[in-house]
């Protein structure tokens, strides 16, 4: 059974710092991995989708990498801003087609 973990559970950084969020999964037989952002009381917003054949994806200040063989993905946020404060979730899609979600990392960016 696929299990997804995220480290750290919570992170607080001053504005302007670069930061890395980590996602680990136990079964490397995946189609893709998706990073989401969730604001308090809101739904999930897709940030980046990485296919299993890709190594990384970039969108603006966000860069996500995937090392399928080691079961790891990282989300790099450059020059963090208070507006980046949210919970970040990763989800992996295995051969059973369903996404399995990690518990999330709660990020606070302090002005």
Which positions touch another protein (CB under 8 A)? 31-32, 34, 36, 42-46, 49, 51, 89, 91, 93, 97-99, 101-104
Shortest reach from residue 16's CB to another protein, in Å: 30
The tokens describing 26, both together, are: 């136990």
Q: How far apart are CA 107 and CA 86, in angstroms?
A: 5
Beta bridge partners of 5: 24
The residue among 85 and 87 lying less far from another protein, judged by its C-beta, is: 87
Q: How far apart are CA 111 and CA 49, in angstroms?
A: 29
CA-closest candidate to residue 95, choices 73, 76, 68:
68
């Amino acid at each position: 059974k696929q299990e997804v973990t995220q480290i750290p559970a919570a992170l607080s950084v001053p504005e302007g710092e670069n930061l890395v969020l980590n996602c680990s999964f136990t079964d490397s037989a995946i189609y893709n991995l998706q990073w989401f952002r969730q604001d308090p009381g809101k739904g999930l917003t897709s940030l980046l989708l990485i296919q299993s054949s890709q190594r990384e994806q970039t969108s603006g200040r966000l860069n996500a990498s995937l090392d399928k063989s080691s079961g790891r993905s990282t989300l790099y946020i450059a020059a963090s801003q208070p507006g980046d404060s949210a919970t970040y979730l990763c989800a992996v899609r295995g051969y059973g087609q369903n996404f399995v979600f990690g518990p999330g990392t709660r990020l606070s960016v302090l002005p």
